[in-house]
């Protein structure tokens, strides 16, 4: 009983040294020494032996093997050999036991783990040195309290105290103290990070216990397998990736990680809001199309029509192509110039250098006003019959048209109409020379 009290004191003192330590290797083998204590008198054919005359001594090594089966529960067996000496007769009683038991540890993942065991002995022998007192029993119930104390991932110390009873031949109450070395095995720790391979989510890479054996390389509190940027610290809401400029585009996807920008431009800014990132925009402060590298097209005449689309790039216009409209004023100018285009009698040939220069001047006016269709009306004097004059006036209109086309005017812009002698100049049929003419109208 004194020995039990001593073991209890050691047990209580060890509680103060509890430290968390991952063990969980399912198999445990232990080897140690055992010492029995007989707690009741022994009565047999040789007489009565008082328990007070018996003292235990250390026996041969105790050996046990247990396997964890569920949480703190283990199942296993043990063999032990001890010796008790009758001090009055100097007679030794050898004590052999072999049992099967269920064990429960209260802190199996800790450095210090108290436990209890209960089971049944398969056989027990108690004999004196003369063999005349040899007795065999069929079974013996027992209970045990003890503790495991880890020395590392696999090795540890244990100490325990068992109470048992031999029910017959003879009936004996006894206690048994055991202590020794234990070794856990069955589940390794390949990466040596203190988390056994069975529980280690990253068994080949040293990691942290709080992350179930996985590392946190960038120390941002997110284990590497769950971190989209394991080497650069970032917040949890970004799955471990940083966003330096705070534009919601993560640095790993941000083409401009230090300047806030737009998601659609991969995190780069667009100062002129023309849809082209400033880094690719040759005119970042002035909006322009992508085909002109972000710069506006030039407009030399400032008429709002870019030079590339302006048929009159040096002349401000009001039409879609950037040219002036064919106004009445322009048509009046053309007719004023065209009034000097004259024809000989009975001829469609343009007469004289002055007339040719007038055609050239009309061409220049049309070049400055490239939109709009011009109708050229041919006229004849009252000489000759009407049918002849009709044909002659058409030829005169065609002659002017052909001359303009020859100078470069688009033929699609020119139409001809024959007026014959129906409209003499100023209504004066006697002005035969003036009536041999052409006039111009916009369509």
What pLDDT, in 10s, does the model give residues 201-218? 998 899 999 999 999 999
Q: Is the pLDDT of residue 193 over 80?
A: yes
| Token duo for residue 314 | 């040096």
Full DSSP string of 124-145: EEEE-TTSTT-EEES-EEEEEE
- Give domain 2-185's CATH architecture: Beta Barrel (2.40)
Q: What share of the chain is helix, strand, coil (3-state, %, to 5)?
A: 25, 30, 45
Residue, of 5 and 386, whose pLDDT is higher: 386
Q: How confident is the model at residue 197 (pLDDT cuts 50, 70, 90)?
A: confident
pLDDT tens sequence across 416-436: 999 999 999 988 888 898 899
pTM check: above 0.75: no
pLDDT tens sequence across 263-295: 999 999 999 989 999 888 888 988 888 888 888
Please tell us whether the domain made up of 328-442 is placed in CATH 3.30.1330.60.
Answer: yes
Residue, of 254 and 314, whose pLDDT is higher: 254
**So what's the pLDDT on residue 71?**
83
* 3 state DSSP class of 105: strand
Bridge partner residues of 193 (DSSP): none
Q: Is the pLDDT of residue 40 over 80?
A: no
Q: Is the pLDDT of residue 334 over 90?
A: yes
Calculate mean pLDDT across residues 151-178.
80
CA torsion through residues 239, 264, 261, 280, sign: positive
Q: How confident is the model at residue 333 (pLDDT cuts 50, 70, 90)?
A: very high
**So what's the pLDDT on residue 51?**
58
* 3 state DSSP class of 184: strand
Q: What is the average pLDDT score of the chain?
A: 82
Q: Radius of gyration of the chain from Cα atoms?
A: 59
Q: Is the pLDDT of residue 344 over 90?
A: yes
Question: Distance between CA atoms of 39 and 47, rounded to whole angstroms?
Answer: 17
Bridge partner residues of 73 (DSSP): 70, 104
| Token duo for residue 381 | 């004097």
**So what's the pLDDT on residue 7?**
35
Q: How confident is the model at residue 154 (pLDDT cuts 50, 70, 90)?
A: confident
| Token duo for residue 325 | 């409209």
Calculate mean pLDDT across residues 29-38.
84
Q: How confident is the model at residue 48 (pLDDT cuts 50, 70, 90)?
A: low
Q: Is the pLDDT of residue 172 over 80?
A: no
**So what's the pLDDT on residue 127?**
56
**So what's the pLDDT on residue 47?**
59
| Token duo for residue 141 | 């119930």
Domain ranges of the chain: 2-185, 190-242, 328-442
């Amino acid at each position: 009983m004194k020995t039990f009290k001593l073991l209890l004191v050691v047990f209580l003192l060890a509680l103060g040294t509890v430290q968390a330590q991952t063990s969980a290797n399912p198999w445990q083998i232990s080897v140690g020494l055992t010492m029995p204590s007989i707690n009741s008198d022994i009565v047999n054919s040789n007489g009565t032996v008082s328990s007070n005359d018996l003292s235990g001594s250390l026996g041969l090594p105790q050996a046990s093997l247990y396997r964890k089966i569920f949480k703190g529960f283990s199942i296993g067996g043990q063999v032990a050999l001890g010796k008790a000496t009758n001090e009055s007769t100097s007679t030794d009683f050898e004590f052999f036991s072999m049992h099967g038991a269920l064990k429960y540890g209260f802190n199996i993942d800790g450095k210090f783990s108290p436990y209890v065991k209960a089971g049944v002995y398969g056989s027990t022998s108690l004999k004196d040195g003369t063999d005349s007192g040899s007795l065999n029993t069929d079974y013996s119930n027992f209970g045990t309290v003890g503790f495991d104390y880890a020395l590392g991932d696999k090795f540890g110390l244990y100490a325990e105290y068992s109470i048992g009873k031999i029910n017959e031949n003879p009936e004996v109450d006894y206690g048994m103290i055991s202590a020794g070395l234990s070794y856990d095995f069955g589940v390794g720790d390949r990466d040596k990070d203190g988390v056994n391979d069975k529980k280690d989510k990253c068994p080949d890479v040293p990691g942290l216990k709080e992350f179930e054996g996985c590392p946190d390389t960038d120390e941002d509190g997110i284990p590497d397998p769950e971190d989209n940027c394991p080497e650069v610290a970032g917040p949890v809401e970004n799955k471990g990736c940083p966003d330096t400029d705070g534009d919601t585009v993560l640095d790993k996807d941000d083409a401009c990680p230090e300047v806030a920008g737009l998601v659609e431009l991969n995190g780069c800014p667009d100062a002129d809001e023309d849809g082209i990132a400033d880094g690719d925009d040759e005119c970042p402060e002035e909006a322009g199309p992508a085909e002109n590298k972000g710069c506006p097209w030039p407009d030399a005449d400032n008429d709002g029509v870019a030079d590339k689309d302006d048929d009159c790039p040096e002349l401000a216009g009001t039409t879609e192509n950037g040219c002036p409209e064919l106004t009445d004023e322009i048509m009046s100018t053309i007719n004023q110039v065209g009034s000097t285009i004259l024809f000989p009698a009975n001829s469609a040939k343009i007469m004289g250098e002055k007339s040719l220069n007038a055609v050239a001047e009309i061409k220049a006016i049309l070049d400055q006003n490239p939109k709009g269709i011009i109708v050229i009306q041919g006229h004849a004097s009252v000489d000759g019959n009407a049918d002849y004059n009709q044909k002659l006036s058409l030829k005169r209109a065609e002659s002017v048209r052909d001359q303009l086309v020859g100078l470069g005017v688009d033929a699609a812009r020119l139409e001809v109409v024959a007026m014959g002698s129906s409209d003499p100049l100023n209504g004066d049929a006697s002005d035969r020379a003036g009536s041999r003419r052409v006039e111009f109208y916009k369509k």
